Amino acid sequence: MITRYTRRELGDAWSDFARFDAMRQVEVAACEEMDGPTPAELDAIRGATFTVGAIDEREKVTDHDTAAFVDVLSESAGPAGRWIHYGLTSSDVLDTGLALQIKRVAELVLPDARGLVHALAAQARQHVDTLCAGRTHGIHAEPTTFGIKLAGFAFEADRNARRLERAFAQAAVGAVSGAVGTYSATSPDFEARVLARLGLDREPVSTQVVARDRHAELLQAIALAGAGLERFATELRHLARTEVNEVTEPFGRGQKGSSSMPHKRNPIKSEQVVGLARVLRGNASAAVENVALWHERDISHSSVERIILPDSTILLDHMQRRVLALVGGMVVNPARMRENLELTHGALFSQRVLLALVAAGSTRDDAYRVVQRLARRAVDERVALRSLLHDDSAGDGLDLDAIFDYEPFVRHAAEIIGRLDEIVPD
């Protein structure tokens, strides 16, 4: 992934050095559980080192990066190096090392996933009574509150955090089962001891490789989390439009919105999140393609994973941090929200008028036609629906004060937002 989106800790976790060091940890743990090496040899194995440059040079000869790694590490250990990779196959080291990297990446990525839940819940509680227009199909529907809107995002973020936690955990499994997964040179007990040293669960049947549906599940969870971030960013983009202007992105001192138009304050951070979510979905599709390997093993998945696992986790991390900043710094304009509620001149009270007419004895269809006619006039002629209803015979006997009251729309807002206590206790 390009430097622009990469937090240093994530970049380090996916570096070539980190990959080979994870493989080194697997090799050392395996040697520590073997019967052959002496204490002195184990000390030499534990002290064995490598450089990425040395491995790259060796790979020019071996045309096999794991074999090159084993050669360099074994040479560093001296005579004791004969025990390195003893009874193992490449996938034992590659897949188990990858599990260690995934576990480390989870430690870096998951806190912000949970932090986003808390940030959204805090803003939802703050705006429990902030009245705004609810929109369906992009059109004003009925009033809601900005807090209710944010509470929905908080619950979605919680589901995504839980999915990510499960997905990272089930993908961080190892295997030390040898060629085609039959333990012909080792044993299941040996595998269990090695994985226990590394703090990993095992793949029950590895077939030589850890099953790739696990990694596909992780990439699917990441793509879903990205879609949730995209949904929030899309909402913010719509609310930031000049014609709406209800919520805007934070705008820093010295920031420029356009190279040519000084008045612009574009929602560039939200747009970036929306764009990067597309990459996550594409990578998730590639991960699904990796599931069907030939027989016990091939390496068609390997080249793909070297791209999509680092890129997707790095992008998710970047997007989470971006949205956390947006949630914490967004500028909410309650006055404009109130002003926008009046754009339809009361037409968003149409359901309340409809129900009042039905309750007064009208058939539903007759009531619907009356309200539809009057609401259309209210919008087209820019006349308050209340006034039109007052002057129409259909409004005779109706309590217009009760009908044209915002309170019924938001009377359950506190109860709805109170459900956040299930995931983020107040």
Place of tokens 């005579």: 79
Question: How far is it, in rounded angstroms, from Cα 300 to Cα 292?
Answer: 9
Question: How far is it, in rounded angstroms, from Cα 324 to Cα 117?
Answer: 9
Q: Is 263 a catalytic residue?
A: no
The contacts found for 67-76 with CB under 8 angstroms, 24 or more apart, are 69/20, 69/23, 69/93, 70/27, 73/24, 73/27, 73/48, 73/49, 74/48, 76/48, 76/49, 76/50
Annotated catalytic residue: which of 64, 76, 206, 258?
258
Question: How far is it, in rounded angstroms, from Cα 426 to Cα 421?
Answer: 6
Q: Is 258 a catalytic residue?
A: yes
For the CA atoms of the chain, what is the radius of gyration? Answer: 30
Query: What would you measure as the largest C-alpha separation in the chain, in angstroms?
Result: 102
Annotated catalytic residue: which of 137, 263, 295, 393?
137
CA-CA distances (angstroms) from residue 104 to 52, 97, 278, 289?
20, 11, 25, 25
Indicate which residues carry an active-site annotation: 137, 258
